Structure 1
């Protein structure tokens, strides 16, 4: 029967996609749950675990702007006031702005996020078991996409099977309702796999491992504690909010306007 061949094909596609996603999720979560014990996150580390390289660049520029060592105009331009960076992240931002001392924020952010300083930070966090390796993030995301495509494929071949003539010459002698029920099984497999992946993988698979997520929660509750990147006059609680929540935590109108131009 033709519909049986389609059913076997649907099971093969659904089973393969779900197996790949499960294996990728296991590899992404295969870190020491005790990792990071006694480790105090710096704000740069918290920014990376919360939002990746772009968040680190945003935090650095906001911190420098609050110290009045970098001017972020509401028109979307960054101007260096103090060319002496206090750490490698700040030096990356200053270097991205260039020798003229002025540049649009968008290319500065992109260059700073791709700098060696951020890559080194990421490597250290991965080695400490606090960040998810880049390959694992990519594999899980690809696995989710494959399962979604498998679900669509099952629906498509199921529709073809139902449209097959019910006469013996058409290759099926089974009621359409029962054929639909058989195809509902691989469809249920793919949908349940996606649901489980969203609950179990989505909260931490992008950047932070389970251990890193736990430390982020501790930092949020203990804002202003050890590990700040602040210099004199910095509001550690404020910078912690920017590191963990991103630019939506910025409350200065001029700064918000400056970053509103960053994608141009």
Structure 2
């Protein structure tokens, strides 16, 4: 009986060590000063993903009058508005595609725009973000290990 308990303890310890090494290897490498964030859009993407990037662009456009609130959940672009970065360009393009100016439609369409997605791709290429799904096998392993150890 003691031999079986010892074998189980060794198996759990080995599995835990391998899991920690795998998790450490799947995370992005910590970069030096050359890997820092370049602008506010990149900082917003790191904090909250594409939705936060679009929110920053919306607030910026609202702050300087290029965008006005027309009602609850409705936004209107001021005539003659311009875009200062690719994210704002995506917001303007999304507004053109949303005839009612419904904020949800504008925000979602801008989030899916390739210009916004490229921000995340650039961050992942520089090692500041993990590519989507890179930690999934390790989370699955951890869940199985926790389930087996808990039963």
TM-score normalised by structure 2 residue count: 0.74
1:98 Cα deviation from its structure 2 partner: 2.6
Higher relative contact order (CA 8 A, sep 6+): 1
Partner of 2:90: 92
Q: Partners in 2 of 1:12 and 1:106 — Cα distance?
A: 50
Spell out the pairing of 1:38-187 with structure 2 (5 A cutoff): 41-73=38-70, 75-82=72-79, 83-99=81-97, 102-129=100-127, 131-135=128-132, 138-140=133-135, 143-156=138-151
Q: How many residues align?
A: 148
Deviations 1:30-61 (A, max 9, x none): x2531426x56311111112211111010000
Larger of the two Rg values belongs to structure: 1
CA RMSD of aligned residues (A): 3.2
Q: Report runs of 4+ in structure 1 exceeding 4 Å deviation.
A: 10-18
Change over 3 Å in CA distance of 1:63–1:21 after alignment to 2: same
Greater CA drift, 88-97 or 143-152: 143-152
Change over 3 Å in CA distance of 1:35–1:81 after alignment to 2: same
**Aligned-partner SS, 2:43:** helix
Deviations 1:4-23 (A, max 9, x none): 49x74x97578547624531
Q: Which runs of 5+ in 2 are unaligned?
A: none
Q: Partners in 2 of 1:81 and 1:101 — Cα distance?
A: 14
Which one of 31, 34, 50 corresponds to residue 33 of structure 1?
A: 31
